[in-house]
């Protein structure tokens, strides 16, 4: 399992890297097929946000869905513990679901936001009044609308149709409040999202191209 630790606005010491690698060994107990784990450390210098100044984002990739967890605290080590707790809980869900659905074969690479989407680096946009459209999967395009400070970021993802149940499952694993997908039954573009408590919503688009 490859472990990549990087900092954003933060220096990452060798001691902390070693601590992260020791902590992440536990992942193999729940995901023996894990291929790569990315850990991003972010420091917020604003004194007003001192209690959440250290943020840890963990993204795990294997042959199944991408699983992601993040947490923030005033202490980097505490943030790592919190993020690991969330990640392990999501890994348990994956393990339990595989036991309940051993023959399931419709698991697809999810439409998930990467750390770069949530906290993108300083953009170098092309000044134009019409946003450019990305043409290659995984490639992001950023454009600035004229002289305004508005920057539009677009990214193209590959998608395979899935059920609403699978979309909700994928959304929970990456810890996002919404999830985009193509409905396997109706072929409609859809989005599932959290409402309140244990209730969810589904937005469907009746796309007519012509």
Q: Which CATH class is domain 2-100?
A: alpha beta
Task: State residue 81's pLDDT score.
Answer: 93
Q: Does pTM surpass 0.75?
A: no
Q: How would you class 78 by CB atoms within 10 Å of its CB: exposed for 0-12, middle for 13-18, buried for 19 or more?
A: middle
Cα separation, 191 vs 75, in Å, equals: 35
Domain ranges of the chain: 2-100, 123-155, 159-210
Query: How much is the average pLDDT of 18-34?
Result: 88
Tell me the percentage of the chain whose pLDDT exceeds 90. Answer: 26
CB 86: neighbour CB atoms within 10 A? Answer: 16
Given a cut of 80, whether residue 57 has pLDDT beyond it is yes
Helix (H, G, I), strand (E, B), or coil: what is residue 205?
coil
Residue 190 contacts residue 164 (beta carbons within 8 Å): yes
Task: State residue 40's pLDDT score.
Answer: 92
Q: Do 159-210 and 2-100 fall under one CATH topology?
A: no
Given a cut of 70, whether residue 116 has pLDDT beyond it is no
Q: How confident is the model at residue 28 (pLDDT cuts 50, 70, 90)?
A: confident
Cα separation, 99 vs 143, in Å, equals: 45
Report which listed range, 63-72, 94-103, 129-138, is most confident: 63-72
**CATH of segment(s) 159-210:** 3.30.505.50
Cα separation, 44 vs 53, in Å, equals: 5
Query: How much is the average pLDDT of 186-204?
Result: 86
Could you read off the pLDDT of 128-158 as tens digits, one per residue?
Answer: 555 577 777 767 788 887 777 888 888 887 7
Task: State residue 67's pLDDT score.
Answer: 86
Tokens of 187: 């072929």
Q: Where are the beta strands (DSSP E) in the chain?
A: 2-8, 36-43, 54-61, 67-73, 126-128, 140-145, 151-155, 178-182, 189-194, 200-204
Q: How confident is the model at residue 30 (pLDDT cuts 50, 70, 90)?
A: confident
């Amino acid at each position: 399992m490859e472990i990549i630790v990087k900092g954003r606005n933060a220096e990452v010491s060798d001691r902390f890297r070693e601590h992260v690698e020791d902590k992440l060994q536990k992942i193999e107990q729940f995901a023996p097929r894990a291929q790569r784990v990315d850990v991003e450390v972010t420091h917020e210098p604003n004194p007003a946000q001192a209690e959440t100044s250290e943020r840890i984002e963990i993204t795990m990739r294997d042959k199944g869905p991408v699983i992601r967890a993040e947490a923030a605290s005033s202490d980097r080590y505490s943030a790592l513990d919190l993020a690991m707790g969330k990640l392990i809980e999501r890994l348990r869900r994956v393990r339990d679901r595989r036991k309940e659905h051993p023959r399931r074969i419709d698991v697809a690479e999810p439409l998930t936001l990467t750390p770069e989407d949530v906290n993108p680096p300083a953009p170098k946009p092309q000044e134009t009044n019409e946003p450019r459209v990305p043409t290659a999967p995984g490639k992001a395009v950023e454009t600035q609308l004229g002289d305004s400070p508005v920057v539009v970021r677009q990214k193209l993802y590959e998608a395979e149709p899935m059920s609403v149940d699978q979309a909700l499952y994928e959304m929970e694993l990456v810890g996002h409040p919404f999830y985009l997908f193509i409905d396997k039954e109706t072929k409609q573009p859809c989005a599932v999202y959290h409402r309140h408590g244990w209730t969810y919503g589904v937005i469907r688009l009746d796309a007519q191209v012509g």
